[in-house]
Structure 1
Amino acid sequence: MIDHATKRSDEIVVSKKYKYFMVFLCMLTQAIPYEVAQTIQPLFVHPIVNTFHFTLASYTLIFTFGAVAASFTSPFIGKGLEKFNFKLMYLIGIILSALAYVVFGISTKLPEFYAAGILCMIGSTFYSGQGVPWVINYWFPFEGRGAALGVAFCGGSIGNIFMQPITQNLLSHYMTGNAKTGHLISMAPFFYFAGMLLIVGLIITFFIRTPKKDETVVSEAEIKAGKEAAAKKKASEFQGWTSKEVIRMKEFWIFSIGFLIIGLGLASLNEDYAAFLDTKLTLTKVGLIGSMYGVGGLIGNITGGILFDKFGTAKSMSYAGVMYVLAILMMIIISFLSFGNKMNMIAGCGYAIFTGLAVFSYMSGPAFMAKDLFGAKEQGVMLGYIGLAYAIGFAVGAPLFGMIRDSANFTVAWCVMMIFVVVGFLLLVSAAVKIKHRQKELINNNH
């Protein structure tokens, strides 16, 4: 896999095939270890709540605690990647997530489930949240990095397509009663997934790596072209404001509050959908809807970048807002129907597709918006601010949905989420329009 024909002095230029193999390993990481650690967890909510007689609000705090813990430890994990061998860090993450599923399997009380959720989310940060971008950035320092990241993260959507029905079918074998009132007769599914995560993770660990010291991932010509392109791009693009200047802008705070409120509304679509659909459909059908979400997410991730590049922040996020409103509308319709109604499956597939098409809004969206709205001067800092606003809303949204559902019903809970989404996107889009107007004024004044 090494292209010795392009070797210069004592260095080896790695072939494109080997670099693409690293992208495949990152995509596989998202499709299975990440999918098990994070995406299929909502499918366990209803069975666990019924089995141990928890309230929906109390159990879904598992996602809040996990998200907060992962956000807090992420910078430290990033520093660890700089100091320690990548394979070792990747392996630590895999072991932590697999161990978390073992803890899930032996848990009977809420604090134990919370601890498992925290451990699982922290573990996934090692190999997914920090690990995948770390590997891609090393193998693609110039041309092709964006495309490589996009392909790698599409693994999550691909994993959704087959992991959702597998999970629901496995759960159905270890449950008694229907999806609405049934409870687990064994915690075996957790141990199966712990084994799957560990085995696949160990296989990936054996192959995945960053370049060695005597390897060069780009030729001298590519390095020169990359630097020239970067310099040209920097000279022509809007450099923007400093973080101190941005913080003093009222539009920034409106934008951030809007994104936070959006997070409140979207948490339920990602974390509580299975607990709700289980009350209206069989486990197998809920798994199929999860597969449809994977298909929609795959399309959404690919087309999201195109939308941002062609239409900018305001129009692209407006489109995402409409998709989310339609998705929640599907859930509201389902909430009025009885268990097993044929319309439940149709509306459920609509929810999955609409939600999937808009996933770019919080996946690639923050990185694009940070630069598009506030410029390249302190892009990293602004990305941190934007990501934090959404993370806070998302962390609070899941348990809030559960509290509303427990005190009222699912219909009321979905209507409140609809209000959050509408208000949040209105604030974000209106702020984005005003910020772009400020940009134009600044550029005109400078010329």
Structure 2
Amino acid sequence: MFTQAIPYGIAQNIQPLFVHPLVNTFHFNLASYSLVFTFGAVAASVASPFIGKWLAKFNFKLMYMVGIIISTISFILFGISSKLPEFYGAAILCMIGSTFYSGQGVPWVINHWFPGKGRGTALGIAFCGGSIGNIFLQPFTQKLLASYMIGGTKTGHLKSMAPFFIFAGMLFIIGLIVVLFIRTPKDNEIVATKAELEEAKKNAEAARAKEFEGWTAKEVMKMPWFWVFSIGFLIAGIGLATLIEDYAAFLDTKLSFSTVGEVGMVFGVGCLIGNVSGGILFDKLGTAKAMTYAAAMYTLSVLMMILASFQPYGSGLGKASGMLYAVFCGLAVFSYMSGPAFMAKDLFGKKEEGVMLGLVGLSYAIGFAIGAPLFGIIKGMTNFTIAWEVMLACIVIGFALLIVSVVKIKKMQKNVM
């Protein structure tokens, strides 16, 4: 949980807050700089399977620290960069490094300590750390940036790249402290009794007996509704990327640095509630209704951004709109965090669950990679209001396609059963 709150929070969650200051400082356009998120996400996805294999071969503490060092170096590179390719390279290193200690590292260590009961709960608690970290990291980051800025939030630029070096030091020191305590069980340590493991095995077998057996990946690929689902998730991902990655760059033109930090803090609280409640919504309501709820929350969050775009700088209504955006968007984050894993199994069964998870996740990842730079291009050609309206259309159309296809696939599933 501490890993997610600080090292991961620094490596990923605060990155959007640097967009506006860096775009002003080096005279980049928003679309070109936003590609740092695209390159970072793609690089982490490609590296993730290899890192998973290395964790099985080498000492976990060593791999954890390798990731911390890579992310630390990336922030140092951010601090000495002045050209776009240099920022792209730093972003790639940063996300690859975070995969060692977060994306692959956290599930790896949790799975070793909880081979039977408690795994889901432990993972949930650990990953909530990212949301908890946001509550204080977001306002801290904005205050730190403001202290090294010249001018206002709209046109101000960084007088020093010191914030990157400060965060590099924080990431390394906190990572070094955590690595002193975090570890996998030793050979002579009993983390679950034989009876508990047997019970867990029986429960898993009983649950599997009641589950939909599923289709093979080849069978799924031949389904027209699978492609509608994938296209829908891709289009929705375009809109969601903007909400998550570009909110700070936009709000910096409407609110003070400290207020944008407060919005980030509220977003962290919303994410905490959204992550915890997401599993309950999927279990109680099913995929179609849970994703409909998420679509409604995202629609409201974009409407708040559109409303804010019409407000003058520093207005009370603009601040209220930003805060409501953070609440609505945070409550729906389960749709892309736990959503792909749940939907892959719920819709297509357990026969080739791993393959289907990859295909479902790929649809969203492609959309997410397109979203941030596309938003920047549209904003550059028009303005923020029109850019948000296009993202609203992406969310409405994407989720509509996704939800309709989910209903159709569930009907096909019932016919098979």
Fold agreement, TM-score > 0.5: yes
- The residue matched to 1:179 in structure 2 has which SS? coil
2:405 counterpart (414, 427, 431) = 431
1:53 maps to 2:24: no
Are 1:240 and 2:240 an aligned pair? no
Matched, 1:398 2:378: no
**Paired position in structure 2 for 1:152:** 126
Q: Does residue 270 of structure 1 match 2:244?
A: yes
2:44 alignment partner AA: A
Match of 1:70 among 34, 44, 56: 44
Alignment of 1:245-264 (within 5 A): 245-264=219-238
2:315 to 341, 346, 350: 341
Q: CA deviation at 1:259?
A: 0.7
Question: Residue 299 of structure 1 corresponds to which residue in structure 2?
Answer: 273
1:144 partner letter: G
Gaps of 5+ in 1: 1-26
Q: What amino acid maps onto 2:88 in structure 1?
A: Y
| Alignment map for 1:6-405 (pairs within 5 Å) | 27-405=1-379
3-state SS of paired residue (1:411): helix
1:353-392 deviation digits (Å, cap 9, x = unpaired): 0000000000011111111111111111111111111011
Residue 327 of structure 1 and its aligned partner are, at CA, apart by: 0.1
Deviations, residues 41-93 of structure 1 (Å, cap 9, x unaligned) = 10000000000111111111111111111111111111111111111111110
Question: Aligned-pair RMSD on alpha carbons?
Answer: 0.7
- Which amino acid in 2 is paired with 1:330? M
Residue-by-residue CA offset, 1:390-426 (whole Å, 9 max, x unaligned): 0111011100000000111000100000000001100
Counterparts of 1:421 and 1:53 in 2: how far apart (Å)? 30
Q: Which amino acid in 2 is paired with 1:171?
A: L
TM-superposed CA distance for 1:200, in Å, is 0.3
Amino acid aligned to 2:6: I
Deviation at 1:115, TM superposition (A): 0.7
Question: How many equivalent pairs are there?
Answer: 417
> Aligned equivalents of 1:170 and 1:377: distance in 2?
50
Q: Secondary structure at the match of 2:253?
A: coil
- Structure 1 CA distance for aligned equivalents of residues 190 and 340 of structure 2: 31
Deviation digits for residues 200-219 of structure 1 (CA, Å, limit 9, x no counterpart): 00111111111112222100
What one-letter code is carried by the residue in structure 1 that aligns with 2:232? G
**1:94-145 per-position Cα deviation (integer Å, ceiling 9, x unaligned):** 0010110000111111111111111101100111111111111111112111
**Aligned mates of 2:232, 2:62 — CA distance in 1:** 39
Does 1:414 pair with 2:388?
yes
- Is there any run of 5+ residues in structure 2 with no aligned partner, and where? none
Match of 1:4 in 2: none
Please give the alpha-carbon distance, in whole angstroms, between the structure 1 residues aligned to 2:148 and 2:37: 24
Hey, what's the Cα distance between the residues in 1 that align with 2:251 and 2:110?
37
- Give the CA deviation at 1:341: 1.0
1:188 partner amino acid? A
Equivalent residue, structure 1, for 2:416 = 442
Residues 241-277 of structure 1 show CA distances to partners (whole Å, capped at 9, x for unaligned) of 1111111111111111111111101111111000000
**TM-score with structure 1 length normalisation?**
0.93
Query: 1: CA distance between counterparts of 2:98 and 2:215?
Result: 34
CA distance in 2, matches of 1:386, 1:205: 33
Counterpart-to-counterpart distance in 2, 1:203 and 1:170: 23
How many angstroms apart in 2 are the aligned matches of 1:176 and 1:245?
A: 59
SS at match of 2:396: helix
Q: Deviations over 1:134-160 (max 9, x none)?
A: 111111112111111111111010011
Structure 2: how far apart are the matches of 1:140 and 1:431?
Answer: 36
In the aligned structure 1, how far is the partner of 2:52 from the partner of 2:199?
29
Q: Distance in 1 between matches of 2:162 and 2:231?
A: 42
Give me the whole-angstrom Cα distance separating, in 1, the residues matched to 2:169 and 2:95. Answer: 17
Runs ≥4 residues deviating over 2 A: none
SS in 2 for 1:399: helix
Q: TM-score, normalised by structure 2?
A: 0.99
More deviation in 71-80 or 208-217?
A: 208-217
Measure, in 2, the Cα distance between the counterparts of 1:217 and 1:246. Answer: 39
DSSP-derived class of the 2:146 partner? helix
